[in-house]
Structures are given as C-alpha cells and as structure tokens.
Chain A
Amino acid sequence: MALLEVRNLTKSFGGLVAVNDVSFQLNEGEILGMIGPNGAGKTTVFNLITGIFPPDKGEIRFNGRSLIGLRPHQITELGIARTFQTIRLFPNLTVMENVMAGLHCRTKAGLWASILQTKAQKEEEKFIREKALEYIHFMGLGGLEFELAKNLPYGLQKRLEIARALATNPRLLMLDEPAAGLNEQETSELMELIAKLRDKGITIFLIEHDMKVVMGISERIIVLDNGYKIAEGTPEEIQRNPRVIEAYLGKEE
C-alpha cells in the first residue's frame, strides 16, 4: 500500500479550476518531485493534502486513512508536515521557540499540568528543549537559538522552517519550493539535506522550479500544467517527455 494516495483530486475557486482530476501515489521512503509552470496548481495540491481547504471531488488517503474533512492540525498529528512557499515562520519568536512549535503535537501537557507544574510536565518541558536543540543542531542553526526568526538571513530562515517541520516527527515531509532564493552553495547543501532525511526514513514530496534540484534528487516526478497531471515518471523520462517540454516552452508553431 502506498503511503499517500491521491485520486481524482479536483478543486475550483470561483470559475477557475485549479486542480483537475489529479491522481498519483507516493511510496514510503521515496522522494517525489512535483513540477509545472506557474499557476499549474502545485501549491493547491499541497494545501488540499494538508487540509487547508477541502477538495470539491476526489480522495486523499494517508496510510490507508482518508484525510478529507480533517483539520490541518489533525493531519500534522497523523505524520504529514510541510513548509510554505513564502516562508511562514513566527517572526517575533526566537529560533528555539519556532522549533518548539513542532513539538507541540507530540507532547501533551495541558492547562492544569502547566499551572501546577507537575513532575510529568517538568520532564516534558526538559524533553521539548532537548529535542528542539537536536533539530536546531541537525539543521546547522546551532548558536542561533535566541535570535528572533525575523532577523535571520533568508537562507537560514528556510532552514529554520524545515527544522520546525521536522520537529513534528513526520513520516511525510512536504517542501514547497525549498530551493527558491538560495545560492549555489546553499542549494547543494539543501540537496544533501534532503538525501539525509530520506536516509532517516522520511518520505519527501517536494515542489520545485530549480530543475537541477528536482532532477538531481527526485526518484520520481509528476508534472502539472493548468491543473492537469500531464506526466509522471523518472527524471530521465520527464526530461524527454514532449508534453512537458511543450508545457514549459510553449507549442512549436
């Protein structure tokens, strides 16, 4: 059984059909890339899977379980985490606090435990801090724990967003244009990171425009254009696919 199954996914906004009858599968442990010209509906697919709005038609199953009708935080609890195309960190909070956000759904101290500071709560707080530091160091942000997120340079902000998503301990990590705005050095570091994450057992689904990245690390790629899925296959197959070339470069007259 595939980890993520998407069938006949359709979503319209007003008169515009953003996603049109899209179906694909994601297998556990693989890296799936999603490409397509701007406005093809890629982020909308992400938003549908993560529950930001419901689809008009179609099915989304994670680990056999339907995600339709669930709220985003429930979907995250099930093991799907994401980053955003335009970074959505908590700007006025520290790096540490940002990463600790990811640990919220994996811990459980409630109102009373917090007020009374029970032994269990204190241990959980210790656990949260230690875990957060682990993720911070893993993403190479050590030493910056108490910097405000908004003061970090762009490249580090992108890393912070990934650190925060990792803190939710996901089985599936969805990255929306992780290489946008990164220079060459940062981009190859990103590719190493994604490989490392895959080796740790996390399944990766990424949207990218940077072809070097997508072709370089994806095992499979799906291509969207104007809401339709127009191709699916290995990077080599996609590069040779005439429909894909046409979608990006326009029809040859």
Chain B
Amino acid sequence: MGAILTRIKSLDRRLLYMALLAVILFFPLVVRNDYWISTMVLFGIWAILGLSLNIIVGYAGLFQLGHAAFWAVGAYTTAILSIYLKVPILVCLPISALVAAFFAIIISRPILHLRGDYLCIVTIGFGEIVRLFLYNDPFKITGGVNGLRGIARPSIFGLEINTPTAYYYYVLFFVIITILVMQRLENSRLGRAWNYVREDETAAEAMGIDTVKVKLLAFALGAAWAGIAGNIYASRYTVIAPETFSFWNSVIMFCIVVLGGSGSIPGVFVGTLGMIMLPEILRSVLSSILEWRLLIFGIAMVVMMIFRPEGLWPHSRYRLELRREETSS
C-alpha cells in the first residue's frame, strides 16, 4: 500500500491539487443530492475536530482522550447564548472558542505533568465528568438528557445559511481557514516548540523552552478550535444532546489523528475519511455495517499500531524515512 501512495504522490503535484480543488469547489453543483452534500458538511466538521485534536496529540504529543468535552463546551455555549440570549451565531463563534480555551486551561494546568498513560486516563475522566454534568444538568440550563433545541442558524449580512449547499460552502470556508492556520503554526516557533516537547520534554526544558506554557497553549488552541467546531455543529443541527459528546466520539477523534497520521494535516483528512466517510458510504451498500463499525475500528487500531504506527499519511519528515525504506528494500 505504501508503494501505491508513493506513486500517487509522485504524480504532477500541481495537477493533482488543481483537480482536487475543482472537485471540492464544484461538488454540490455537480452532485445535486442533499444527503451526500450534508454528509460532506459532517465530514468538514469532523475534519476541523480532527485538526484541533491534532494540535494536542499530533504536534505536542499529549494523550487527550476527552476531546469531545471541548467540542461540547463550544456547542453548549453557542446553544445557551443563542436560545436564552438570542445572540447571533457568528457572534457566538469567538465566544465559544474563548470559553472552550479558558476551560481547557483551567482543567489542564493541574495535570500537565502527568505521564502518557496517566494523562490519558485523566482526560477520559474529564470528558466523562463534562458529559455527566450536561446529562444531570444541576443548574438547569443544559437541558439534561434531551439537550437543547431551537438553536439559530448563522446569518451573514442578513442572509441565513440554511440549505445543505449553503452549509457546504460555509463549512468549507472554515476548513480552509483551519488548514491555513495549522500550516502557519506548524512552521512557526510555537509549532517547533510543540515538536521539541513531544520528542523529549526534559531536553526541551533544558534548551530554554517553557514546557508548561507550550503544553497549555496546545490544550487551549486545540480546545478553541473544537469550540469553533461545536459552534458550527450546534447551529447546523439546531439541536444538541449530551450523547453526541461521548467517550466514543473522543476515541473516534483520537483515531482520526493517530491512524491518519499524527501531526500531519493530510493525515487528519485521510483519518476522517476512514472513520466517518467510509461507514457512511458503506452504509448504502451494507445496511448492517454500522453495527460492525466499532468492532472493525477496534481491530484496525491494533493492526495499525503493529504494522504502520506512524499512520496512513504521516508527516512529511517521516515520509522521507519511509521512502528510504521503500527504495532500499
């Protein structure tokens, strides 16, 4: 499979990108099927979630298995502001991002020093505590098990976004922005700092890098972006409930990043394709596939770790390694 991927990548790059761009831009106009367009909107939201977790897991190398909690904070902030205070969705967007980031800083600060597998357990814990909080609704604002309904739709200059095609381009815009921001971060002083912390935290600290601040920034930024995804998700479906923000979905996000290729932007898209799109596509073919989905994923996780732990589309610096392995064998 590695050889196939290499061959694809060696095709004239620019031609490939332009073709991809054309497909993406004209997709809703060619495929006039609302179901598939909506599926692509869902894909976009999950891709943004994957990219947000990629900061924490892929760049900074922190085990975060409770990411759905940040998604939830963003979604519920938007929902509460929209339903109770009639705040416009686009105004809710930055607020949701900030609230999620703030929340992330508070809960991650005391646990930053924990080692890999312990951090993992603790993040699962936080994820569940958030979900239980939403479910039990002690302050009577989260709607409990039924969640919240009646979230508004975003409107730009008076034009409301409420058709699948409109949403497609709306989400596409955010996906593109997210990719641009991630690329810039990757090649910046902060992005490099994340790499150093991931590779060897003690050495990084000894080289003058404030590892606490760097890790906090990873959590805050990852959470902020998940909060944005939450805002988009809430206004798209106008109804949100705690069961969406479950441990399972945190696991799916985690797999999107790790199995797709930790730290690599194309890898996140490949991962989202596998975890979200494939079951949707197969569903129209095999109706019972959804039941088997998690079983297959579980097995896939084990298999991937044994045979291709760097993911399906690893970061470019690893691909140099793989290319060397492939040409020498």
Contacts and interface: CB of A to CB of B under 8 A. Distances in A.
A and B touch in the complex (CB under 8 A): yes
Interface stretch (B43-51, B140-148, B207-215): B207-215
Interface string B193-226: 1011001101111111111000001000100000
B199 to A, nearest CB: 4
Contact of B199 (A76, A91, A168): A91
A73 B212 CA distance: 10
Given A73-B208, A94-B317, A101-B207, A114 B202 contact: no
B189 A107 contact: yes
A54 B74 CA distance: 41
B190 interface: yes
Contact of A114 (B184, B317, B321): B184
Contact of A105 (B191, B207, B318): B207
Interface string B144-171: 0000000000000000000000000000
A90 B189 contact: no
- Name the residue in A91, A115, A128 with the highest tally of chain B Cβ atoms < 10 Å from its Cβ: A115
Interface of B: 181, 184-185, 187-193, 195-196, 199-200, 202-211, 217, 221, 317-318, 320-321
B211 A101 contact: no
B208 A111 contact: no
B199 A72 contact: no
Given A52-B202, A93-B199, A117-B184, A73 B192 contact: no
A126 interface: no
Given A73-B211, A94-B317, A164-B207, A101 B202 contact: no
Given A93-B199, A97-B195, A115-B184, 6 more contacts: A50-B206, A76-B207, A88-B200, A90-B203, A105-B209, A110-B190
Nearest to A90: B199
Given A73-B211, A102-B207, A105-B208, A90 B200 contact: yes
Name, among B185, B190, B193, B217, the residue most crowded by chain A CB atoms within 10 Å (CB to CB): B190
B203 A104 contact: no
A100 interface: yes
Contact of A72 (B185, B189, B196, B205): B205
Given A88-B202, A92-B317, A114 B207 contact: no
Contacts, number: 100
Contact of B192 (A76, A81, A104): A104
A197 interface: no
Contacts of B209: 73, 101, 104-105
Interface of A: 50, 52, 71-73, 76-77, 81-82, 84, 88-94, 97, 100-102, 104-107, 109-111, 114-115, 117, 121, 124-125, 128, 146, 148, 164-165, 168
B208 A93 contact: no
Given A104-B189, A121-B188, A148 B221 contact: no
Given A72-B205, A76-B206, A168-B208, A101 B318 contact: no
A68 to B, nearest CB: 17
12 contacts: A71-B205, A77-B208, A84-B206, A89-B203, A90-B199, A104-B208, A110-B190, A111-B190, A114-B185, A114-B188, A148-B321, A164-B207
A111 B203 contact: no
In the complex, the 7 A-B pairs of residues with the closest C-beta atoms, listed nearest first? A105-B208, A114-B188, A76-B208, A90-B199, A88-B203, A72-B205, A109-B189
Nearest to A124: B189
Contacts of A50: 206
Given A76-B208, A84-B203, A101-B204, A92 B318 contact: yes
B202 A93 contact: no
Nearest to A149: B199
A100 B221 contact: no
A82 B317 CA distance: 27
Contact of A97 (B181, B190, B192): B192
B279 to A, nearest CB: 32
B188 A92 contact: no
Nearest to B318: A92
